[in-house]
Amino acid sequence: MERQMRPGSYDMRGEHRALLLCVRDKEKMKENRCGIEVDRQTMEKFFKRFGFQYHIVLDKTAQEMKQEVIDFRNGVNSSSGDISCVFVVTSSHGHRDVIIGADKKRLPVKDIIEPFGDELCRKMKGKPKIFIIDACRGSNRDTGVIFDSAADEKRSKEAMATKEYRSTRVPPCINDMLVAYAAMTDYVGVMDSTSGSHMIYNISQVFSSPDAAGEHLYNLFVKANAKMVANTIDVTVDEGKPTQRRECRKIIMTMESTLRKTLYLGKGSSSSFSLHLPPLEGSSSSFSLHLPPLEDSSSSFSLHLPPLEDSSSSFSLHLPPLEDSSSSCSTLPAP
């Protein structure tokens, strides 16, 4: 389905690019209960649903992730095609405006966002940049407030420290961005070994609705936040220790936006095609081809491989227009 441009909205008819940074727990991976791995799978489905060209980076150090962000930005800048939007998503441990790499060192969130500013990423000037930072932002825990309860005028040391930090915090900011954080400043996020992070799970639920493609992206994030706030999470504290116990948590997504227009992702296509040709007889050469999802049903593709240097065989391929994910293709002998 071709993406249409709406009045007052960003032009989304070009390519959608995405980078996903995940730092998984090795021990939990061995036990097959790593929530960050679930996040990876969830976001991969998300990218495919909306027709993104995406790159996934797993289990890198803080410095390596910083370089991956720069390389991704450079790839966007050097692209000859039109790029409509960029998504950068992280899933890892974190603290105050940092995420934690595989080496336990910290990568400031500003080093993820600021490389896409107008001066450093001219290709995306005036175009939307979306950042989903799925990590804890501190160690405070929100247990919610009971209705009709009296306000406690006394502030804990943790609450005072949070207030002081918030008053001096300078958030990373570039034009045409939306940043979604998994929790409020100085608070923990929630990760489940089965469903993944509370934020990414609810984002995926909202964005998978039939009407999501035609709704402003900011509104979809608001709906995901509403689902998060509506549910109290029962979590295990001090797992594996003598003090292990269950506690209730309230998780609130935080969003910071400088978007100047409405943003509609539209519908991508789930149709894609992969081809691998083994070496032809008498030849050591092989060939692989992957076609990303086509955005509309009128696109077709033809390929002709001339004879390989040490073989007299040639090969032709024609893909008819892909109307849906059940479309097939055929290979034809070369004329």
Which three-class secondary structure string do you get for 261-279? CECCCCCCCCCCEEEEECC
Across residues 60-89, what is the average pLDDT?
A: 97
Output the pLDDT for position 307.
Answer: 58
User: Is the pTM of the predicted complex or chain greater than 0.85?
Assistant: no
Q: What is the DSSP pairing of strand 191-192 with strand 196-197?
A: antiparallel
Rounded (10°) angle between helices 217-230 and 198-207: 130
Q: What is the DSSP pairing of strand 245-249 with strand 106-108?
A: unpaired
Full domain range(s) for residue 83? 15-257
Give 291: exposed, middle or buried? Use CB within 10 Å, 0-12, 13-18, 19+: middle
Pair (175, 301) in one structural domain: no
Confidence of residue 334 (pLDDT cuts 50, 70, 90): very low
Pair (188, 312) in one structural domain: no
Across residues 243-257, what is the average pLDDT?
A: 82
Output the pLDDT for position 229.
Answer: 86
Bridge partner list, 226: none
Can you tell me the distance from the alpha carbon of 18 to that of 56, in angstroms, rounded to the nearest whole number? 9
Pair (232, 317) in one structural domain: no
Output the pLDDT for position 81.
Answer: 93
Pair (229, 288) in one structural domain: no
Pair (194, 233) in one structural domain: yes
Nearest by Cα to 138 from 120, 117, 119, 163: 163
Cα-based angle 213, 218, 220 (whole degrees, multiple of 5): 50
Residue 103 lies in a domain: yes
Which domain-ending residue is among 204, 223, 257?
A: 257
Please give the share of the chain, as a percent, with pLDDT higher than 70: 68
Structurally, the chain folds into a number of domains equal to 2
Cα-based angle 35, 39, 41 (whole degrees, multiple of 5): 115
140: which DSSP letter?
A: B
Output the pLDDT for position 273.
Answer: 44
Residue 266 lies in a domain: no
pLDDT tens by residue, 112-137: 999 999 999 999 999 999 999 999 98
pLDDT tens by residue, 187-233: 878 788 888 888 999 999 999 999 898 899 999 999 999 998 888 76
The CA distances from residue 77 to 27, 90, 121, 145, 324, in Å, are 38, 21, 6, 47, 32
- SS3 state at 66: helix
Nearest by Cα to 197 from 239, 248, 136, 110: 136
Does residue 108 have a pLDDT over 70? Answer: yes
Pair (319, 242) in one structural domain: no
Output the pLDDT for position 212.
Answer: 92
Pair (290, 238) in one structural domain: no
Lowest mean pLDDT among 169-183, 243-257, 282-296: 282-296
Output the pLDDT for position 238.
Answer: 72
Lowest mean pLDDT among 25-29, 83-87, 268-272: 268-272
Q: Is the pLDDT higher at 202 or at 1?
A: 202
Q: Is the pLDDT higher at 316 or at 267?
A: 267
Pair (251, 318) in one structural domain: no
